[in-house]
Amino acid sequence: MRTWIKICATTSIEDALASIAAGADALGFVFAPSKRRVSADQAQAIIAELPANIERIGVFSNDSAVHVREVVELAGLSAVQLHGEESPEFVAQLRSKWPRAPRIGVIKTVLVNESFAQRFQEVCRDQDCFDSILLDAGAGSGRTFDWQKAKPHLARSGKRLIVAGGLTPQNVGQAIRVLSPWGVDVVSGVEREPGRKDPDKLKAFVAAVRRADQS
């Protein structure tokens, strides 16, 4: 299996192209409160220069459906990643104004904390709502979660699982071997400084993922 790779918190065309050159499948653009936040106009300017096969994912948290739709349309996003308390009803409202193809993808973040088991089950029950579930230690935390502790809850999810949270070129291979996720998502582990990517770390991260795929 080839693990899907998302490089998140893209803030410049230079970083976008470096991520693609390294082997990223998707780029993330943060519209939620963050020091890595970009505007819809900034994201649109970057996305206009990207190859068509690269997925373009907007990160939102507890925003209005109207505003999310506006950003998706203006920036040219192919999917949204929801980090707040968004419900299935919210997603239905979000998609109700998008009758056109292709369908906008929806990724739901679930934090691996003391209420993880219950929240994960709730999200998994919404089979027709969320396309993928992203597991994270906390938005922008740069910390890993206990992979072994989370693993028993994942086997029967029926969803594409994406692992995030403190991943680096040094530990992403172990995360893949333990959790066998569909994809991985990285921010700080491939940065030179907040909001600036490091080309060498990008290459090392993708190479580590591909080594884990082969093993």
State the chain's mean pLDDT as an integer. Answer: 91
Q: Which domain holds residue 98?
A: 4-214
- Alpha-helical (H) ranges within 100-171 are 116-125, 147-150
Backbone angles phi, psi at 206, to 5 degrees: -65, -40
Helix %, strand %, coil % for the chain, to 5?
40, 20, 40
Which residue, among 62, 68, 63, has the nearest Cα to 98 in the 3D structure? 68
Q: Contact, 8 vs 39, CB < 8 A?
A: no
Q: Identify the H or E element spanning 21.
A: helix 13-22
Catalytic status, residue 124: no
Amino acid at 56: R
Asked whether the predicted pLDDT for residue 8 surpasses 90, the reply is yes
Catalytic residue among 25, 126, 129, 131: 131
**Distance between CA atoms of residues 77 and 55, nearest Å:** 8
Mean pLDDT calculated for residue range 176-204: 96
Number of structural domains the chain divides into: 1
pLDDT of residue 17: 98
Q: Which of 8, 15, 63, 136 is catalytic?
A: 8
215: pLDDT confidence band, cut at 50, 70 and 90?
A: confident
Other Cβ atoms within 10 Å of 192 Cβ, number: 12
pLDDT in tens, 125-156: 776 688 899 999 876 667 899 999 889 888 77
Read off the DSSP letter of residue 160: E
Q: What angle, 0 to 180 degrees and rounded to 10, lies between the N-to-C axes of helices 40-47 and 13-22?
A: 50
On the 0-12 / 13-18 / 19+ scale of CB atoms within 10 A, 125 is exposed
Does 131 participate in catalysis according to the annotation? Answer: yes
CATH number at residue 146: 3.20.20.70
User: Under a CB-based contact definition with an 8 Å cutoff, are residues 162 and 132 in contact?
Assistant: yes
